[in-house]
Structure 1
Amino acid sequence: MTQLIEGSGISQFKALIQTLGYNKDVDIEFATVTAAPPNLRIKIDNMPVELDADDLVICEHLTEHTRKATIDGGSEVDIVYSAALATGDRVIVASNESAQVYVILDRIGGV
């Protein structure tokens, strides 16, 4: 029997990951960026301290980075992505508190 998950889309996504991808060592948390890179700091909801860049791993798509691309078989060009995190951004964080590893997975809105 399928059980409907109530709440916003983000809450439903978090509940789905916790239900289907449950791993007792990994938690999915929400956090707020309190300082932008290069001195990145985040505050995880319901956690009393802020974490700084030394405590965090950030997925590449959330950082400024360069990739090579070709368009319609033309010559190769560099594309610079400037999707760096900003103060106030809400993010999803996967955490393994026992290993003290916190991975910023993505930016979210409305939570």
Structure 2
Amino acid sequence: MALLIEGGPVSQFKALVREIGHNKDVDIEFATILAPLPDIRIKIDNMPIELDADDVTVCEHLRDHKREVTINGGEVVEMTVMSPIKAGDRVAVAMYADNQGYLVIDRI
């Protein structure tokens, strides 16, 4: 079950935090990346199934994204930051909504 939220990355994150809130039912688990983005597949430790791109949401800093930067005080340029996650990486995953929602929050 992927959480589909409209808007840019910041509004998506805010909406996701609103959805999760300070919920004591959120668990943090460890997982292994089986296939990288965009067709991500993960295996959460101690779970018998694999989750795919339709099942998980991935935080922006782990996806390909664009940033405006300056180099050596020069002009502002846009650069693309490539996803740092690859097959075999270990990640932290927040499980919420009675373990029906999965958010990949960071590489570990």
Give the structure-2-normalised TM-score: 0.71
**Corresponding residue pairs, total:** 87
- How far 1:97 moved relative to its partner? 4.7
| Cα distance in 2 for residues equivalent to 1:87 and 1:71 | 31
- How far 1:106 moved relative to its partner? 0.6
| Cα distance in 2 for residues equivalent to 1:79 and 1:93 | 27
Letter in 2 for 1:54: D
- How far 1:70 moved relative to its partner? 2.6
| Cα distance in 2 for residues equivalent to 1:64 and 1:46 | 29
C-alpha RMSD over aligned residues = 1.8
| 2:33 equivalent in structure 1 | 33
- How far 1:23 moved relative to its partner? 4.3
| 1:77 equivalent in structure 2 | 77
Q: Where do 5+ consecutive residues of structure 2 fail to align?
A: 1-21
Q: Deviations over 1:55-111 (max 9, x none)?
A: 111111111111112346532101221134211110000111516111101111xxx
Q: Where do 5+ consecutive residues of structure 1 fail to align?
A: 1-21
Higher relative contact order (CA 8 A, sep 6+): 2
Letter in 1 for 2:49: V
Query: Which of the pair has more CA radius of gyration?
Result: 1
Letter in 2 for 1:106: D
| 1:103 equivalent in structure 2 | 103
| 2:64 equivalent in structure 1 | 64
- How far 1:45 moved relative to its partner? 0.2
Give the structure-1-normalised TM-score: 0.70
| 2:91 equivalent in structure 1 | 91
| 1:49 equivalent in structure 2 | 49
